């Protein structure tokens, strides 16, 4: 599949990915010591939902567009950092903007924290550089994300997260995700890793999860959100493997994922999974 992100900004996959990202960032902020957030496939940083790319697909209408109505009080409490970051980005850049992961990371950085955004695509990288390389807390690198991953860890702060969000344009990239994630955890065992994948070939995702369950030396969670019945001809949903998740994340996901599955369901189908992987926490 080809996942050039400008066409998909604000869709159901972004809602899941960015909710989890903001929960982890909020958790990192609880300690005063600095942290580093590394985004290996960063894209443009943020996207205009009225632009041609997003307008062609309109996917955001069935993603962030369905979150306008409030949820129950307990769900809203856990969505609050995500909603606050979205509001802050829009206050700065306009009401039709949807933040990618670099824009969300920037909202959580304090003095001393660091965001590192990696993008290989020349045009996208130039935009990302113009948007974020002037902030002393952020740095943009023009590198292949898979090459950058081992080069950037462990960070000097020894605290932080790595978001691995490849475009899945190359066959076998889900399998590569598993291999590279295991190598990264072997090099920086205490970092939090968020590894995103599309759910199109459900069997491939199950194999990924089984291999990581058997091989990971650290506790992890598998978080899936499906908004269509599983169908190998279409994107049915997406998921994240979260290695070294915050200790509250499983309980939080058990509250938020059912609400998102119900709200974002299409053709009467929505489902979710929150399952531990690897050794017990």
Confirm whether residue 27 is marked as ligand binding. no
137: pLDDT strictly greater than 90: yes
Q: Is residue 45 part of a domain?
A: yes
Peptide bond into 99 cis (omega under 30): no
pTM of the complete model: 0.96
| Phi, psi (degrees; rounded to nearest 5) at 194 | -120, 110
CA dihedral 4, 41, 92, 56 (to 10 degrees): 10
pLDDT at residue 4, as a whole number: 62
Q: Based on the structure, what is the number of domains in the chain? A: 1
167 domain-assigned: yes
Residues 204-255: tens digit of each pLDDT: 999 999 999 999 999 999 999 999 998 888 899 999 999 999 999 999 999 9
Q: Enumerate the active-site residues.
A: 165
Closest CA to 191 of 245, 239, 146: 245
Q: Which helix (H) or strand (E) holds 102?
A: helix 101-108
pLDDT at 34 > cutoff 80: yes
For residue 268, being part of any structural domain is answered with no
pLDDT band at 71 (very low <50, low <70, confident <90, very high): very high
| pLDDT band at residue 55 using 50, 70 and 90 as cut-offs | confident
Is 144 part of any known ligand binding site?
yes
pLDDT at 7: 77
Residues above pLDDT 90, as percent of the chain? 89
CA atoms within 13 A on the CB side of 98: 28
The pLDDT, as a whole number, for residue 44 is 94
Q: Determine, yes or no, domain membership for 249.
A: no
For residue 274, pLDDT beyond 50: yes
Residue 174 lies in a domain: yes
Confirm if 221 and 250 have CB atoms less than 8 A apart. yes
| 201 is annotated as contributing to ligand binding | no
129 marked ligand binding residue: no
- Evaluate whether residue 276 is within a structural domain: no
Q: Which of 15, 137, 27, 30 is nearest to 83 (CA)?
A: 15
State mean pLDDT over 75-86. Answer: 98
Does 258 map to a domain? no
Give me the CATH number covering residue 213. Answer: 3.40.50.150
Which structural domain range is residue 146 located in? Answer: 5-195+203-220
In a domain, 13, yes or no: yes
The response to whether 165 counts as a known ligand-binding position is yes
Looking at residue 2, its pLDDT comes to: 45
Q: Is 61 known as a binding-site position?
A: no
């Amino acid at each position: 599949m080809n996942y050039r992100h400008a066409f998909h900004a604000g869709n159901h996959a972004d809602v899941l990915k960015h909710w989890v990202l903001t929960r982890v960032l909020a958790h990192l902020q609880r300690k005063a010591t600095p942290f580093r957030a590394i985004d290996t496939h960063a894209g443009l940083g943020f996207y205009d939902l009225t632009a041609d790319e997003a307008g062609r697909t309109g996917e955001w209408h069935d993603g962030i567009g369905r979150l306008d109505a409030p949820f129950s009080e307990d769900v809203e409490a856990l969505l609050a950092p995500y909603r606050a970051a979205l509001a802050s980005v829009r206050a700065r850049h306009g009401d039709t903007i949807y933040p990618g992961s670099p824009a969300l990371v920037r909202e959580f950085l304090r003095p001393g924290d660091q965001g590192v955004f990696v993008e290989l695509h020349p045009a996208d990288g130039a935009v990302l550089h113009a948007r974020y390389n002037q902030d002393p807390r952020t740095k943009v690198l023009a590198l292949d994300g898979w090459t950058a991953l081992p080069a950037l860890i462990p960070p000097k702060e020894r605290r932080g997260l790595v978001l691995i969000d490849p475009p899945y344009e190359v066959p076998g990239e889900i399998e590569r995700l598993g291999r590279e994630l295991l190598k990264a955890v072997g090099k920086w065992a205490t970092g939090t890793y968020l590894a995103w994948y599309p759910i199109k070939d459900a069997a491939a995702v199950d194999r990924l999860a089984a291999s990581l369950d058997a091989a990971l030396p650290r506790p992890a969670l598998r978080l899936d959100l499906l908004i269509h019945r599983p169908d190998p001809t279409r994107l049915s949903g997406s998921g994240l493997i979260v290695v070294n998740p915050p200790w509250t994340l499983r309980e939080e996901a058990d509250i938020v994922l059912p609400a998102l599955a119900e709200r974002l369901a299409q053709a009467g189908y929505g489902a979710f999974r929150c399952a531990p992987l690897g050794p017990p926490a």
